[in-house]
Amino acid sequence: MLDVFIKPDFEHWRVAARSLLAAGKPPEAICWIEAGAQETMLPGFTSEATSFAEADTSAPVPKAFLQMADLASCFRESRRWPLLYRVLWRLTHGEPRLLQIVVDDDVYELMQMSKSVRRDAHKMKAFVRFRRLEVNGVEEFIAWHRPDHLIVPHVAPFFADRFAPMRWTILTPDASVSWDTRRLTYGPGVAVSTAPNQDPLEEIWKTYYASIFNPARLNISAMQKEMPQKHWRTLPEATLIPDLIHQAPKRVETMMKQAATQTNEAGDVKPVPATSAKDFLPKHRTLPQLREAAAVCKGCDLYCHATQTVFGQGPNRAKLMLIGEQPGDQEDLAGQPFVGPSGQLLDEALQAADIPRDEVYVTNAVKHFKFEPRGSRRIHAKPSSREVQACRPWLEAEIELVQPSLIVCLGATAAQTLLGAQFRLTKHRGEFLPSDWAPWLLATNHPAAILRVPDPKMRESSRQQFFDDLRLVADKLQGVTI
């Protein structure tokens, strides 16, 4: 067994790993030890990093591995080093596609480590609070934070870029970092008692925080998950949270009363009608009338950003109705459901099952495209339960008019809209279920979800399930009459 002592950072591990890889040393022959890790040392023994020359290895590795390894190197537990080398060895010794096997134990552990570090880095960026000091007449800002992992060198460049004109220092139990407006300087960790605990500007910040706190959206468990209580000690606004939580029910009641009334020019108070999809439904309904009315629906906020309403399409009376989650980018631009990549996959599956698409009514549970902008692209965002429920009257009206004999729900969102939040696609996919909406209902994979599966084998398996389910639907329809 070869003992390898390394400084606990990615660059030193990388140099050592390349050298060991070039020497043909397998993972089981190496014991990775962090230099200075006294718990592994004999009394009186001090470890120093093993010296390695930069080795030239011809074996390439995926960029994704380097990115995950860089993150995982910040993971607090020393088991990260043998894991990284084990994955590297496998990638360069016959398993070049290893990272695509997400169920592999090593790959799963590496992904979990990377995810944990990424989440911790996000919290550090969100929860660091600088306090202003004057040292010899020079303005400086000090913050203390307790991260879960060893992320100070990883996150420090973010703060240097974000607060470039400021002189600042971030203190943690593991390490400290200072920025003098030109370069970063790292030092040892310190206790929280060394950090300043007061800043005149904090009262302004707390006033702002209290003003933006929305009691109607209070979710204590979600708040504590996103803002763990261990960080509250260094967050000025945390002192307000108990009172804000206590006052939330009364503030919500007041907001509801204010929303229920408005004052006209004469000073008279009159009720404000609630706005929902039902307010836009026509009394006398046909599919063309529904489509026209849905085009101006403002039952939720999604209409503000979407290009247009994307209503269902198909025969007035169809034996088969397909229901997806929501329109995508291309559907939003075209104003028609399932015309983008997921629509192409749907067409292939229908054709393979010998189901003519022009005999099928195709729609979505939500009629507007919800997305997150990323540069010039619009990335799909899952609609909230409130948005799904806001759009439900349109879907119910479509089902009532089309009167399908069989409904196929594409994906969990559509299925849960009709069958309840307890429905699980992984448990009941491909089953014919009785329902209040049609004699038969079946839930299957959504084409868009299939296309997003990263692993080719798993994607092909999901695709085959989708095709098989539509063949079952075709067989069921053979005995169905309108």
Contact 482, 406 (CB under 8 A): no
CA distances for 173 relative to 37, 146, 318, angstroms: 16, 7, 66
pLDDT tens-digit profile of 283-316?
778 999 999 999 989 888 898 889 999 999 999 9
pLDDT band at 183 (very low <50, low <70, confident <90, very high): very high
Q: What is the mean pLDDT of residues 457-478?
A: 94
List of residues 6+ apart from 3 with CB closer than 8 A: 31, 33, 50
Q: Residue 270: its pLDDT value, please?
A: 46
Express as a percent the part of the chain with pLDDT over 70.
Answer: 80
Express as a percent the part of the chain with pLDDT over 90.
Answer: 57
CATH number of 278-477: 3.40.470.10
- What is the rounded CA–CA span in Å between residue 461 and residue 440? 25
170 compared with 229, residue with greater pLDDT: 170
Q: Residue 38: its pLDDT value, please?
A: 42
Counting Cβ atoms within 10 Å, is residue 438 exposed (0-12), middle (13-18) or buried (19+)?
buried
Report the SS3 class of residue 433.
strand
Q: What is the mean pLDDT of residues 138-155?
A: 91
| CA atoms within 13 A of residue 374's CA, in its CB half-sphere | 7
331 compared with 234, residue with greater pLDDT: 331
For residue 230, which phi and psi values (nearest 5 degrees)?
-65, -20
- What is the rounded CA–CA span in Å between residue 361 and residue 402? 8
DSSP 8-state class, residue 469:
H
Nearest alpha carbon to residue 332 among 289, 381, 288: 381
Strands in 266-359 per DSSP E: 269-271, 320-324
Signed CA dihedral, 396, 402, 408, 410: sign only: negative
Degrees, nearest 5: CA angle 269-270-271: 135
Q: Which residues pair with 135 in a beta bridge?
A: 138
pLDDT tens-digit profile of 440-463?
999 999 999 999 999 999 999 999
List of residues 6+ apart from 452 with CB closer than 8 A: none
The pLDDT mean for the chain works out to: 84
End-to-end alpha carbon distance in the chain: 75
Q: Which helix (H) or strand (E) holds 113?
A: helix 105-127
Number of H helices, E strands in the chain: 16, 16
Taking CB atoms within 8 Å and a gap of at least 24, the contacts of 191-199 are 192/144, 192/146, 192/233, 192/234, 194/144, 195/131, 195/142, 195/143, 195/144, 195/171, 195/234, 196/131, 196/133, 196/142, 197/131, 198/131, 199/131, 199/132, 199/236
Lowest mean pLDDT across 43-47, 189-193, 218-222, 466-470: 43-47
- What is the rounded CA–CA span in Å between residue 319 and residue 123? 51
| CA atoms within 13 A of residue 370's CA, in its CB half-sphere | 18
Residue 481 has pLDDT above 60, yes or no: no
| pTM, full prediction | 0.48
DSSP 8-state class, residue 97:
T
Residue 415 has pLDDT above 70, yes or no: yes
List of residues 6+ apart from 228 with CB closer than 8 A: 123
DSSP 8-state class, residue 283:
S
Q: Residue 45: its pLDDT value, please?
A: 39
Q: For the chain, give percent helix, strand, coil, nearest 5.
A: 45, 15, 40
Contact 95, 62 (CB under 8 A): no
Write b or e for each residue in 375-389: b if 16 or more Cβ atoms lie within 10 A of its Cβ, otherwise e.
Answer: eeebebeebeeebbb
Token couple for 243: 């009172």
Q: Residue 127: its pLDDT value, please?
A: 86
Domain boundaries, the chain: 2-121, 128-194, 213-258, 278-477
Residue 354 has pLDDT above 50, yes or no: yes
- What is the rounded CA–CA span in Å between residue 87 and residue 110? 9
Report the SS3 class of residue 386.
helix
pLDDT band at 273 (very low <50, low <70, confident <90, very high): very low
- What is the rounded CA–CA span in Å between residue 417 and residue 242? 36
List of residues 6+ apart from 11 with CB closer than 8 A: none
pLDDT band at 40 (very low <50, low <70, confident <90, very high): very low
Number of other CB atoms surrounding residue 324 within 10 Å = 27
